[in-house]
Structure 1
């Protein structure tokens, strides 16, 4: 059975290493959110570096998730001191569990504060796509899909909650959001 891949990317207003309270608050809330989401039904896995203390996102060993990559529009730093980004790459069983995890609880609270921490870039901040069972998406896959979504809009190759697609490529709907259709997941 296919799994749902999710890539998120945001450009921060200040580098992750910034000691200011607002940046520290983002780091602290992120750790709590990851702990909570990892226990959510439908969550399968996320990219995690082998040793987060050894460098910036770009220097870390991400194992099967591949080398860290960012969209072409990211124009800030790439070192521990200058990187101003937050990115995730995860696998889910389906759209509904991902939606429920993202739009409830701690993650919902963090989303409500996103403009305190993140720049408004005019680019999408997340993208979904289906992968075959056992496949591990890479950071480069996520970047390519996010850029495709920006350039071409939702399609079976790269989509959002508001314009989702089923694993077979047909448009679908998550009850309560997105365009109306006959199919409800």
Structure 2
């Protein structure tokens, strides 16, 4: 992959109980719809899969940030994907199907002592190790051009930017995701 820079996002959390437990069932029931909504969202480019699971190929071996240490878990909920721009990712993240998951996330995940996510611009396909390095960098050093979040965004040129909140991308996604949203609103929290 080359050409114009794409926006990469990595997020990480820890469940309150094992993935197959009743405490995390609401997350598990929503996960397929969240992936489908992302893959059909305006501005979505691609996402890494997970080794040994059906779906897209994994972008190199998945690793986790140091915050997993002492949790009792070997794996944790995390994702790595590419988007066309900040506005597309924000429209997906904070409306519709994914917004419903965020609304209930406190039930399924422990309180974070780390950032929810890290963003950065790339001309290539990111890998898990680079994502984790940037995630820990954001935690340790705060936002900057190579590791930032929505509240303090940077452009591909490394300069601070503002997110164009006037773009109507959430409405485009809402039409595409009507059935996904109906499904997640009907499942157990």
Q: Which bracket does the TM-score occupy, shorter chain normalised?
A: 0.7 to 0.9
Q: Which residue of 1 aligns with 2:158?
A: 169
Stretches of 4+ aligned residues off by more than 6 angstroms: none
Matched, 1:5 2:2: no
Q: Which runs of 5+ in 1 are unaligned?
A: 54-60, 177-185
Aligned ranges for residues 19-168 of structure 1 at < 5 Å? Answer: 20=22, 22-49=23-50, 51-52=52-53, 62-63=57-58, 65-75=59-69, 76-78=71-73, 83=75, 85-132=76-123, 135-168=124-157
Deviation (angstroms), 1:15: 1.3
Higher fraction of helix: 2
- Aligned length, in residue pairs: 161
Structure 1 length-normalised TM: 0.81
Contact 1:62 1:68 in 2 (8 A): no
Q: Secondary structure at the match of 1:44?
A: strand
2: CA distance, partners of 1:73 / 1:27:
22
Q: Secondary structure at the match of 2:78?
A: strand
What is the root-mean-square deviation in Å for CA atoms of aligned residues? 1.9
Structure 2 length-normalised TM: 0.80
Q: Secondary structure at the match of 2:136?
A: helix
1: CA distance, partners of 2:33 / 2:90:
18
Distance 1:50 1:150, change over 3 A: closer
2: CA distance, partners of 1:99 / 1:140:
24
Q: Which runs of 5+ in 2 are unaligned?
A: 166-189
